């Protein structure tokens, strides 16, 4: 446990949990970021968490207690003067909730915290992250490659598929026509040839 996908899932679950305070939600983001992926070591000071999350230290203490009370965080070793408290993120919370969801009917289960509408902002972030790291998308964005459904790329595919430059030119003429009917016919023809998504 503790990979990027699991972190996202746990963060979504924390955000969907109405018992978790806003400060605790914010703190969880920084705890997940500070956790050592190999050793699982996690011992940020209250000052460090306050600086990371832009919260007051009192809010940090309350938020940490809120996460502990709701089973998302454990204290492994109480801190002493000059040494921070050691924490542990409770990953079993995630697996037990997922098991519960699977037993109750899977993805369509209304109690599934991963389907909660409150999670849409996180879904958008993940989708944007995936899209922006896609090599083809980056090439198109940087102008190194044409869009898949650009007229030029469809023209090339029609030409390659039919081997007839007159058909490809005829398609391009229809596509660039000012008449909507012509454009619709061009799209239908390109889809028929499987050259347009």
* All structural domains of the chain: 4-123 (1.10.10.10), 137-197 (no CATH)
pLDDT tier for residue 107 given thresholds of 50, 70 and 90: very low
Is the pLDDT at 187 greater than 50? The verdict is: yes
Summarize the confidence of residues 97-115 as an average pLDDT: 46
The mean pLDDT of 4-12, rounded to a whole number, is: 82
pLDDT of residue 21: 92
- Here the tokens at position 177 are 């026509």
- Is the pLDDT at 104 greater than 50? The verdict is no
The residues, any chain, with a CB within 8 Å of residue 129's CB and separated by 6 or more, are none
Is 90 exceeded by the pLDDT of residue 62?
yes
Which residue pairs from 173-180 have beta carbons closer than 8 angstroms and sit at least 24 positions apart in sequence? Answer: 175/151, 176/151
Over 90: is that where the pLDDT of 155 sits?
no
Sequence-ordered strand ranges (E) for 36-105: 73-77, 86-89
Neighbours of 190 (CB within 10 A): 22
Average pLDDT (33-45) is: 82
pLDDT score recorded for residue 148: 67
Q: What is the number of helices (H) and of strands (E) in the chain?
A: 10, 2
Cα–Cα distances in Å, from 184 out to 55, 76, 177, 196? Answer: 56, 65, 10, 12
Position 102 scores a pLDDT of 42
Least confident range from 13-22, 41-50, 52-61, 143-152: namely 143-152
Q: Which residue matches tokens 């969907």? A: 16
Q: Which of 48, 46, 69 is nearest to 59 (CA)?
A: 46
Q: What are phi and psi of 176, to 5 degrees?
A: -90, 0
Section 44-56 average pLDDT: 88
Asked if the model's pLDDT at residue 159 lies above 60, the reply is: yes
Long-range contacts of 185-193 (CB under 8 A, 24+ apart): 190/154, 190/157, 190/158, 193/157, 193/158, 193/161, 193/162
Q: Residue 103 has what pLDDT?
A: 47
């Amino acid at each position: 446990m503790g990979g990027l996908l699991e972190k996202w899932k746990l963060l979504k679950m924390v955000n969907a949990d109405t018992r978790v305070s806003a400060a605790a939600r914010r703190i969880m983001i920084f705890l997940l970021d500070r956790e050592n992926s190999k050793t699982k070591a996690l011992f940020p000071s209250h000052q460090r968490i306050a600086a990371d999350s832009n919260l007051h230290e009192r809010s940090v203490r309350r938020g940490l207690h809120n996460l502990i009370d709701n089973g998302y965080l454990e204290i492994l070793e109480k801190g002493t003067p000059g040494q921070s408290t050691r924490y542990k993120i409770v990953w079993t919370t995630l697996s037990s909730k997922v098991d519960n969801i699977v037993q109750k009917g899977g993805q369509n289960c209304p109690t599934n915290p991963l389907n909660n509408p409150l999670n849409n902002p996180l879904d958008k972030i993940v989708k944007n992250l995936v899209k922006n790291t896609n090599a083809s998308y980056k090439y198109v964005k940087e102008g190194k490659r044409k869009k898949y459904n650009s007229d030029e790329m469809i023209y090339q595919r029609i030409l390659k598929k039919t081997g007839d430059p007159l058909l490809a030119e005829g398609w391009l003429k229809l596509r660039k026509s000012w008449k909507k009917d012509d454009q619709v016919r061009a799209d239908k023809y390109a889809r028929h040839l499987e050259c347009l998504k």
